[in-house]
Amino acid sequence: MSDDENDDKLTAGENKINICQINEMITCKICSGYLVDATTVTECLHTFCKSCIVKHLEDNINCPECEVMIHQSHPLDYIAFDRTMQDIVYKLVPSLEKDEYKRERDFYAERGMPCPKDLEEEQEEEDTKPEEEETAPEPGSTLDYHRFDEQVNLVLKSSDPEKLPELSRKFVRVSALATITHLKKFIAIKVLNMPKDDEDIFRDIDITCEGELIPKDHTLKFVYVTRWRTKDPPLHLVYSPKIKLDTENMSGKDSDIPEWKLQPKLSYDDDEDN
C-alpha cells in the first residue's frame, strides 16, 4: 500500500466525529437524555424533549436553560416541534427512534390503551386509500394536515348509543387547534354517515365535558386547559343529540337533557353580551 493511500485513510479517520463530542448539542437539558420529539422555545431557540418542556411549563414560565421568560400567561404557545433537529438526532443515534417507539407502545399496552402512533398510521392508510387522488397535496405544496401541531388525546363516548351510535374507535388524537365544530363534523361523518348534500346535520350534535356544554368555537387545547388540566389524559368528551336548554324543558319530565345534570354556564369571551 502506497504512502498516499495511507495518508488518505488517516485523513478519513481524522474526520470521523465521536458522538460524545456532540452529545451536549443533541441531549435534553432537563432529562439529560437524547432529544425525543424535539421541541424548541421560539424566544431563545433552546431545544428539549416535548414531554420535558411541557411538564416544566406547567409550573414555570421561564426557559429551563437560560431562564428567559417565554411568555407571561401562555408559554405553551411559544414552543414548536423541531423536525430538523429530531431528524439529526435519529440519524446520529440510529437505534433511538426504534427504541423510543417500542417504549411508547409498551407504555400504552400496559394501560390497555392503543398507541397513538399506531392509530395515526392506521387512520392515514384508511384516509389515503379511497381518496388518494383527492387528498394528495399538489407538487410544491407545504400542506401538512396539521400533523406537526401540538396534539390532544381524546376519548369520545355517546350519551345515548341508541340515538347516536358509539364510534368504532373511541380514542382519537387530533390537533390542539381543532374546534368543537370540527369534532362535531367528524362525529357526524363517522356515526351518521353525513352526506355531502346535508352538511348541516352536525349541528344536531352537542358535546359536553364533565356535564358542561362546550361552546362550538372553543379549541380542544382551551377545553383541555380549562376543564381537564388537573386530570390524567386522555380528555373525556361526551357527544349527544342537540340539548335544549330552555326553562320549560329543564324543569319538565320530557326534557331532552341527558340524565347527568349540566353544570352552570360559565362566562366566555365568545358569549353574547348580556
Residue-wise pLDDT for 143-161, tens only, equals 555 667 788 899 999 999 9
Predicted TM-score (pTM) of the model is 0.40
CATH of domain 151-251: 3.10.20.90
Nearest to 235 by CA among 164, 163, 183: 183
Do β-strands 151-158 and 212-213 pair in parallel, antiparallel, or remain unpaired? unpaired
Among candidate residues 77, 52, 82, 80, the one with its CA nearest the CA of residue 64: 52
pLDDT digits (tens, 9 = 90+) for 209-260: 988 999 999 999 999 999 898 888 899 999 999 887 654 444 444 444 444 4
Give the span between the Cα atoms of 1 and 17, in whole angstroms.
26
Residues 3-105, CATH architecture: 2-Layer Sandwich (3.30)
Tell me what percent of the residues of the chain surpass a pLDDT of 90: 34
Domain ranges in the chain are 3-105, 151-251
Write the burial class of residue 267 (CB in 10 Å: 0-12 exposed, 13-18 middle, 19+ buried). Answer: exposed
